[in-house]
Structure 1
Amino acid sequence: MPPEFDLSSATDALTAVVVAIKDDQLDAPTPADMPVRALLEHVDGLAEAFRAAATKESVSRSVSPEFGSGETLAPDWRAGIADRLRALAEAWRAPAAWEGDTEAGGVTMPAPVTARVALDELVIHAWDLARATRQDLVVDETDLAVLTDFLKDTPAEGTPGLFGPIVPIGPGAPRLHRVLGYTGRDPFWFPATV
């Protein structure tokens, strides 16, 4: 089965945000209700988890993600996360990645669904980190179309373990705002100024 979409634009956008984060921003709050350093630690882990899901290495071996404090963030986190995000996108370019079932975070799903979950994680956490560190983020319209279709039937209470109650967004809002709302994000969230 050929790849249904390419994760490169999402991994490139997230990488650009990650490498621009300054050391003095690591304790800043994020829309994900954790500090930047903890979200970076999560992004680092999910990049490897979804790469292993593409290659099927994770089948019968993945575990539910744990959210730490970010205290174990590697000293070379910028380069390490960038490398793992590149490897993630590359792994999903292989046609075999899209075949059969695979596993990530202890959950077995059809591979195309897993790819959509990966795309959601990449885009949403890129926005979380960009917003927390006051960076601009441009999300590829093709990625937003895939996510809108994937998330449009999200129940009002959200998806337990993934994201909380949806934030209602008007029909005329930008597509990114609608995607954020489906994942329980307020598109107008900004860190408090001091």
Structure 2
Amino acid sequence: MADRVPLDFDPPVRQIRALLLGVDDRDLPASTPCPGWPVAALLDHLMGLSLAFAMTARKRAGAPGTGGPPPEPSAAHLSPHWRSRLPVLLADLSIAWKDPAAWTGTAQAGGVTMPAAAMGAVAMNELVMHGWDLARATGQDYAADPRALEVLVEFLGQGPSEGTPGLFGPRVLTDPASEDLLTRALGLAGRDPAWRPPRRRPVSSTSRSRPTGG
């Protein structure tokens, strides 16, 4: 059918929006699988990429996030309105990639131009991987769309094993015969599927009641 598109962004968007409901303010400084990024920086990145890839799908070259490399994600730059704003940006991203025209010709994001179909796969990979990052960092369950994972495993498998700077880290070896699609995709994207957040040191009752005055 002429109106079919290669990938449906609704499942990963719904997954992330559900995960956002489980993010407590106390989670914001917590570590994530992305080295050097706390949860707050990961959320800042999700906001930026959602806006950028929506503009990419609409072929708006030169729009924020398309014409040049994105700024480094930062907890300090996270919008105080992220709880209401990020779900809207994610929904708009999904809507933008429903247009078959988004998948034709070339597309630009982060100053990089490539075939639009490949750029759509990059956008899907960003959502799936960072959805997993957010779930793992905040102790929530994560289930990715199997159809998207099949496409990502094929797409990521075409890249170099040493990774692609700015996109994917060096591959983490997994056993294709015994691992599920999500685990394989994570390894191909440079994620350690076994990553767990470091245990947070509990605050003792003595520390909580300690006087702060001189």
- Equivalences for 1:14-163 in 2 at 5 Å? 14-33=16-35, 34-58=37-61, 62-163=67-168
Distance 2:17 2:39 in 1: 14
> Which position in structure 2 is the counterpart of 1:175?
181
Rounded to whole Å, the distance in 2 between the matches of 1:4 and 1:168 is 28
Shift of 1:19: 2.9
Distance 1:142 1:84 in 2: 23
Which runs of 4 or more aligned residues in structure 1 lie more than 4 Å from their structure 2 counterparts after TM superposition? Answer: none
Hey, what does 2:9 align to over in structure 1? Answer: 7
Q: Which residue number corresponds to residue 211 of structure 2?
A: none
One-letter amino acid matched to 2:79: A
Q: For structure 2, which runs of at least 5 residues remain unmatched after alignment? A: 201-214
Q: Provide the C-alpha distance between the structure 2 equivalents of 1:59 and 1:109, rounded to a whole number of angstroms.
A: 15
Task: Give the counterpart letter for 2:25 in structure 1.
Answer: D
Partner in structure 1 of residue 197 of structure 2: 191
CA-CA distance at 1:137 after TM superposition: 0.7
CA distance in structure 1 between the partners assigned to 2:89 and 2:188 by the alignment: 27
Distance 1:156 1:116 in 2: 18
Return the offset for 1:59: 5.0
Deviation of 1:69 (Å): 2.3
2:171 to 166, 170, 181: 166
In the aligned structure 2, how far is the partner of 1:59 from the partner of 1:118?
Answer: 17
Q: CA RMSD in A?
A: 1.3
Q: Give the drift of 1:108.
A: 0.6
Greater shift, 88-97 or 2-11, is seen at 2-11
Q: Secondary structure of the equivalent of 2:92?
A: helix
Give the structure-1-normalised TM-score.
0.95
**Secondary structure of the corresponding residue to residue 163 of structure 2:** coil
Paired positions, count: 194
Displacement, 1:39? Answer: 0.8
Is the 1:49–1:58 Cα contact (8 Å) retained in structure 2? Answer: no
Q: Taking structure 2 as the reference length, what is the TM-score of the superposition?
A: 0.87
Match of 2:21, SS state, is helix
